[in-house]
Chains A and B, each alone.
Chain A
Amino acid sequence: MTAICPACGPADASAFARRGGAEAAPAPAVIRLALPDIHCAACIASAEAALAAEPGVAAARVNLSRKLAEVKAAEWVEPDRLIAALKKAGHAALELDEAALGPERDAAETRELLLSLGVAGFAMMNVMLLSVAVWSGAEAATRELLHWVSALIALPAVAFAARPFFRSAWAGLRAGRLGMDMPISVAILLSSGVSLYEVAEGGRHAWFDAALALTFFLLLGRLLEARARAAARSAARSLAALESPRALRIGADGAAESVRVAELRVGDLVRIPPGMRAPVDGVVETGATDLDRSALTGETVPVPVGPGAEVAAGETNLTGPITLRAVAVGEDTTLRRMAELVSAAEQGRGAFRSLADRAGRAYAPLVHLLALGAFAVWAHVSGDWRFALNVATATLIITCPCALGLAAPAVATAAAGKLFRRGALLKGGDALERLAEADVAVFDKTGTLTTGRPRLLSEPAPEALAMAAGLAAGSAHPYARALVEAAAARGIAPASATGVAERPGAGIEGALGGAAARLGSPAWTGAPEGPGAAIWLRVGDEAPVRFDFADEIRPEAAALVAALKAEGLRPILLSGDAPEAVAAVAGALGIEEFAARLSPADKLARVAALKAAGRKPLMVGDGLNDAAALAGAHVSAAPATGLDAARTAADIVLLRGDLSALGDALRTARSARRRILQNFAIAGAYNLVAVPVALVGLATPFLAALAMSSSSITVSLNALRLR
């Protein structure tokens, strides 16, 4: 990327500021950069060194867990400079929009849970220790002393550590919902209250250890969930921040300045150098080029444009610099309208009820009724309401969804960690469960099943290829790159061409051994027009030579389609490209159902129709034109090479830009789902044994502690077994 920053401070002044140290920058700004690729100690070292070597940078620290760098720098330091420096050191970096950034909130939530967990753990261990003395037969004054000490530790600890549950139970109560947190809060409060009363009356049983153990195990489950959510959100955020946040605006004096896209207005002139994506919808003012529209439409063949042509935001400039007169900015651009389609599709998706959620909803009323019933029956039968209250408390504690609270998050954490190592990033806890349910696989073609880069199809004479590669060597046009690659792959050295010049929208011309040569469109090289993706080479007065190109199918695509078929998923190919190209790819991969020339709305409609028919489509796509379908599908995946909007809309990002991780992800998701159900069964089995014991009034705090700890540990171990 070429960073043109006329606004940057003069170099020598910045060098002085660097030597001067911190006092030269009185109020250093914090710049946050997302570093999606860093993964090891060497990455940290080189990224931090690259950042610190930039003038004006006071301190730079890379956070590997959150994959971002926090740079304390002087006000005048442009993020672009830092990004360019990182790029030179081999790290892709993106500016994170400060306004859209909320990781501090996630970090605060995780910290609060961690703190609560620490307090609950400390109190639990101490009370448990005292309880062991009670269980092993402490009597009279000794028991009372131990109980009072337990109460002194437990009551403040519960009041502090169980706040997350109380808060959410209260919120649920006000909204008229009976969630999982209601029985949890009631069990914790009731067991603490009854214990306090019993201790004051000199009773035999106190449940302080149970109240604390409940709090501890449930906080553990909550912490796992919160961490998964925070990781998912920060991934989505860094992806959202990818949308080219800066543009080169040409001021009244003709100089280009780097501004935020949000600052552009209709009528502004914007310069778009080759390799950059158009930030706004506009009309070409000066210059000519080829545009890559594949992200918006799925077309693989670049489109030549000249002055007066319309350019939509999100299209990539390939060959020549152009200036655009903005006709639509911000909310009105094609890109944003696409984003609206995406958010509409997301709303149409409806709330997914996770397994844990469904289990909790069925479980909470049952538990309350059971405890209430036990209280009523015992109070009626024995007339001893204190004993009846003890039975009800024991029932609530034993049935409290301790293992249930751990059952799903423990499996989800194990599965997400495993998939991350294999190269698939899950963006939400329930993505895993939804993936496990998928029964149709809908694919996009360009960039998803194919690499999105053309490959030379024809087998030209070596001399012709050498000459073509010689002309193409300096160009960024995908066909030119394909020619150079093809020559290298065949061991052909490119011919040396002189006076090479790129004619945007037409081709490349130059001189080969004294003869004028042209490589480009049929009209420009004097060749006959014909169908298919092809360019022509004409040297001097010789007959033009034709080079055919085809979109290259990803090497792992066939294996993936076969693997998904084996798992019972019906593959469907939906593309915006021409029918012939789509049919060829579908045929090569063994996909029977396909459709071509689909607009983004068509794709969404097809996916919605599948859902209406009761199917659960998995959508795999990479382009902006897929984003709505990705958001509307039951579950969706995008390769990391895909466009930002697609990755933001997708539930799963395939980090290595390699589709094979999706097959792994599907298998892991299905085994994770089985494991979650198993965990529910384990937790249920413990209850099946323990609840009757509690109902007949035989449960002791010792038994409750045993049942609770052993079921939680079994469930966690079962989650770790996930392969």
Chain B
Amino acid sequence: MEILLILIPASLALGGIGLAAFLWALRSGQFSDPDGDAARILLDQPPPGEDAKS
């Protein structure tokens, strides 16, 4: 059962990566306009006025 000492931290770390990714997505505003982001994928050009960012 010593394998647990490796497996439990490993599973926690993997889960933690998922949580970190979720937190990052939340912080970077990816949940603030889900409908808009779904539609924006259809646009050819980055929206004007955002040139400085991209």
Q: List 13 A-B contacts (CB under 8 A).
A: A21-B52, A44-B40, A60-B48, A61-B47, A61-B49, A62-B36, A63-B33, A65-B35, A114-B26, A118-B23, A118-B26, A122-B19, A142-B1
The CA of A49 and the CA of B11, in the complex, are separated in Å by 47
Report the bound CA distance from A122 to B23 in whole Å.
11
By a CB distance below 8 angstroms, the chain B residues around A129 are 11
Asked if B48 contacts A64 (CB within 8 A), the reply is no
Contact call B40/A41, Cβ cutoff below 8 A: yes
Residue-wise interface mask of A (151-174) relative to B, using a CB-CB cutoff of 8 A (1 in contact, 0 not):
001000000000000000000000
Which one of A51-59, A314-322, A588-596 contacts B? A51-59
Interface string of B1-14 (1 = CB under 8 A from A): 10010001001100
Which B residues have a C-beta under 8 Å from some C-beta of A?
A: 1, 4, 8, 11-12, 15-16, 18-19, 22-23, 26, 31-36, 39-43, 47-50, 52
Q: A45-B43, A142-B4, A153-B12 known; A64 and B50 CB under 8 Å?
A: no
A578 within 8 A of partner (CB): no
5 tightest A-B contacts by CB?
Answer: A64-B36, A41-B39, A52-B48, A59-B49, A41-B42
Compute how far the CA of A596 lies from the CA of B26 in the bound complex, rounded to whole angstroms.
Answer: 55
Considering only residues 602-660 of chain A, those with a C-beta below 8 Å from chain B are: none
Chain A binding site: helix, strand, loop or mixed by DSSP?
helix
A48 within 8 A of B: yes
Judge if A703 is at the interface, Cβ distance under 8 Å: no
A152's closest neighbor in chain B, by CB? B12
In the assembled complex, the Cα of A62 lies from the Cα of B33 at a distance in Å of 9
User: Does A122 contact B43, Cβ atoms closer than 8 Å?
Assistant: no
Assign chain A's interface to a size class.
35 or more
Decide: B36 and A57 in contact? CB cutoff 8 A: no
Asked whether A57 and B39 contact (CB < 8 A) given A63-B32, A119-B19, the answer is no
Beyond known contacts A51-B49, A130-B8: 10 more, CB 8 A cutoff: A60-B48, A64-B39, A110-B31, A122-B15, A122-B16, A122-B18, A122-B19, A125-B15, A141-B1, A153-B12
On chain B, the residues within 8 Å of A142 by CB distance are: 1, 4
Q: In the complex, A145→B41 CA distance in Å?
A: 48
Interface residue? A40 (CB, 8 A): yes
Cα A359 to Cα B27 in complex, Å, equals 37
Contacting pair B15 A44 (CB below 8 A) = no
**Shortest CB–CB separation between residue B1 and chain A, in angstroms?**
5
Q: A119 CA to B12 CA in the complex, in Å? A: 13
- Verify if A115 is at the interface (C-beta below 8 Å from B): yes
B31 touches A111 (CB 8 A): yes
Q: Is A149 an interface residue (CB 8 A)?
A: yes
A66 contacts partner chain B, Cβ-Cβ < 8 Å: yes
A126 at the interface (CB under 8 A from B): yes
CA distance A145 to B3 in the complex (A): 12
- Contact assessment for A65 and B52 in the assembled complex, using a CB-CB cutoff below 8 Å: no
Alpha-carbon distance A51/B48, docked complex (angstroms): 9
Interface residues in A166-195 (C-beta closer than 8 Å to B): none
Report how far A147 CA is from B18 CA in the complex, Å: 23
Closest chain-B Cβ to A578's Cβ sits at a distance in Å of 46
The chain A residue sitting closest to B9, CB to CB, is A149
Inter-chain CA distance A57–B15, complex, in Å, is 43
Q: Which of B4, B18, B31, B52 is in CB contact (< 8 Å) with A145?
A: B4
Docked Cα-Cα span, A61 to B12, in Å, equals 38
Which residue of A21, A48, A58, A114 is within 8 Å of B47 (Cβ)? A48
Bound Cα distance A41, B8 (Å): 45
In the complex, which residues of chain B have a beta carbon less than 8 angstroms from the beta carbon of A376?
A: none
On whether the beta carbons of A52 and B49 are closer than 8 Å, the reply is yes
In angstroms, Cα B32 to Cα A110, docked, is 9
Residue from B19, B34, B39 in contact with A44 in the complex, judged by beta carbons closer than 8 Å = B39
CB-based nearest B residue for A60: B49
Assess whether A118 is in contact with B19, with CB atoms less than 8 Å apart.
yes
Q: Which residues of B contact A115 (CB under 8 A)?
A: 23, 26
B50 touches which one: A59, A110, A119, A126 (CB < 8 A)? Answer: A59
Tell whether A101 is near chain B: CB-to-CB under 8 Å: no
From the candidates A22, A62, A64, A111, name the one contacting B52 in the complex (CB within 8 A). Answer: A22
Q: Within 8 Å CB of B32, what residues of A?
A: 63, 65, 107
B residues less than 8 Å from A57 (CB atoms): 49
Quick one: CB contact mask for A2-17 with B, threshold 8 Å, 1 for yes? 0000000000000000
For A52, what are the chain B residues with a Cβ–Cβ distance below 8 Å? 47-49
